Amino acid sequence: MIQSRFWIAALAVVWLALPAWADPDPKEDARAVAAKIDQLIAARWQTEKVTPAPLADDGAFLRRLALDVIGRTPLVSETRRFLHDPVSEKRGQAIERLLDSSGYVSNFTNLWRDLLLPEANADFQQRFLSAQIERWLRKQFTDNVSYDRMVRQLLTVPMPNNRRGMGYNPYGPQQGEPTPLAFYQSKLGKPENLAASTARLFLGIRLECAQCHNHPFGRWTREQFWGQAAFFGGIRTQGNNNGIFSPLSETSDRRELAIPGTERVAQARFLDGKEPKWRYKVSTRNTLADWMTAPDNPFFARAAVNRLWAHFFGIGLVDPVDDLNDENKPSHPELLDELARQFVSHGFDYRFMIRAITLSKTYQLSSVHPQVPPPDMHLFAYMPVKGLSQDQLMESLSQTIGVAGLNMNQRRNFFDPSQSSFQNKFVSQDKRTEYQTSIPQALALMNSKLITDATHPQRSQFLAAVANASFLDTNGKIETLYLAALSRKPRAEELEKHRRYVEKGGASKDPKAALGDVFWALLNSPEFFLNH
């Protein structure tokens, strides 16, 4: 009896201790993944006989991290605090702080809005749909919904069927639970549009190349394209209106689609060759979602982590990110497989993967490599310089210049001609590492009313506060402008040059106006409108 009680007690102790080691700390797991990233990247450096750039300094790291995670440059107070923080783990702490902020939610809402509704950048009417998809995305990122669940919700969103107006008022505020129905509206409910978009976004496959004929370079056939489209074949627009506000309906058990221009009919088929296992009263889109988001799907996790890597580095392990095919090999195959495996094993947790990538020394390298010319960008021996997206530029400008009234909705309000005119000149480029500043963009930065007012000591609250700060000498005021615009302190030669200019009053012999000139120069510098 005593012996049996001993074993029961021992088992109880083990059982109570089990959660401590069976449920590892995701932050420590992320560090382990970061170390694996560095190990695999360094192995390639060794093979290629490449020396990496040094680590970025604290100011450059914080600015880069803030732009990538929350979509804007850090505040002056945030930068001062970080630069003076002696804690050795402050970079990891900054990552956690930004991931827990509302800025993370807003930034990734913006990113995924543009991915799901690229049509809104060119189509005036499509912009009405942006607010709908933003509401849904904001909830996903606020609740930290896993990536597979988010995609499943999008793939399986119920069609409103016979309810005219699709259950929303495109011209007014939305009520009720947000849904991703706007994605289907933006694609006009057409199966071929939905098949092409979902394959690109969630599988990294340019399937539309096989819409009219077999893919000229990839393995995809026309039958496979229309077999993928057949999963959306039950969706129909109602009435004669084929625009984005046409009511949608669906026949959920539709499993085939006629191939245009032929007498053939394509059956719904998965792209990996597996046969769908149809279930009673389970729609074709649900069946597609089961396959697409499954842990063993050969495309889903790889496409997701590759797209996330490209967000932080400007280029993917497979580049372009939506062209994973047999001919377009990854630069680091083992790393892509490892990241995909970790993404799956951690429940498709988006924040976990962001944490792992940004904790890596690879992400924290300087953008300046000592070698001229620098090594191949795809070796990730330095941080590629990226052009700011439209949202990053507007978010950074608005907080840098302290325009309190320039909130997100106002910046995106296309009825405001001045803001819209400025913002529309900076439509995001496909190749972020191949940035170009056009003449209209340069003129907008130099001459727009937004920048002119921001650098005028009487019209800018921020500049007036700096210029009138009695507790700051000239050097302190210049330093504050640098921290606001570039997230760093001025170098000695920069400080001396600007100090002399300000104290002489510049061209107008007015020290406050001269401070505005310095601020104008910083806001128009490549260092401001590039992520480095």
Instruction: Quote the pLDDT of residue 89.
Output: 95
- DSSP run (H or E) holding 266: strand 265-267
Could you report the per-residue pLDDT of 136-168, keeping only the tens digit for each?
999 999 999 999 999 999 999 998 764 443 444
The residue written with tokens 């009313």 in the block is 449
| Pairing between β-strand 386-387 and β-strand 530-531 as defined by DSSP bridges | antiparallel
Mean pLDDT of the chain: 85
Rg value, the chain, Cα: 26
Instruction: Quote the pLDDT of residue 415.
Output: 29
Q: How far apart are CA 109 and CA 89, in angstroms?
A: 28
The domains found in the chain, sorted by start residue, are: 103-292 (no CATH), 387-531 (1.10.3130)
**CB of 359 within 8 A of CB of 38?**
no
Q: Dihedral sign, CA of 280, 270, 349, 116?
A: negative
Could you report the per-residue pLDDT of 251-266, keeping only the tens digit for each?
767 899 998 888 899 8
Q: How far apart are CA 400 and CA 337, in angstroms?
A: 40
- pLDDT of residue 31 exceeding 80, the answer is yes
Measured in degrees and rounded to the nearest 5, phi and psi for residue 2 equal: -65, -40
Instruction: Quote the pLDDT of residue 22.
Output: 45
Q: How far apart are CA 128 and CA 156, in angstroms?
A: 22
Instruction: Quote the pLDDT of residue 441.
Output: 62
Could you report the per-residue pLDDT of 168-183, keeping only the tens digit for each?
444 334 557 899 999 9
**CB of 233 within 8 A of CB of 195?**
no
- 411 vs 469, higher pLDDT: 469
Question: What does DSSP assign to residue 265?
Answer: E
The mean pLDDT value for 110-128 works out to 82
Helix (H/G/I), strand (E/B), else coil: 257? strand
Could you report the per-residue pLDDT of 475-516, keeping only the tens digit for each?
999 999 999 999 999 999 999 999 999 999 988 999 999 999
- The residues pairing with 257 across neighbouring beta strands, listed in sequence order, are 266
Instruction: Quote the pLDDT of residue 458.
Output: 87
Question: Which pair of structure tokens corresponds to residue 185?
Answer: 């509206």
Could you report the per-residue pLDDT of 372-430, keeping only the tens digit for each?
999 999 999 999 999 888 888 888 888 887 764 444 444 444 324 445 555 555 555 56
Q: Which of 12-16, 106-110, 428-432, 496-500 has the lowest mean pLDDT?
A: 12-16
The residue written with tokens 């649900």 in the block is 286
Could you report the per-residue pLDDT of 45-103, keeping only the tens digit for each?
999 999 999 999 999 999 999 999 999 999 999 999 999 999 999 999 999 999 999 99
The mean pLDDT value for 350-358 works out to 98
Q: How far apart are CA 207 and CA 191, in angstroms?
A: 13
The mean pLDDT value for 223-241 works out to 83
Question: What does DSSP assign to residue 249?
Answer: E
Burial 158-184 (b: 16+ CB within 10 A, else e): ebbeeeeebebebeeebeeebbbbbbb
- 107 vs 243, higher pLDDT: 107
The mean pLDDT value for 304-320 works out to 97
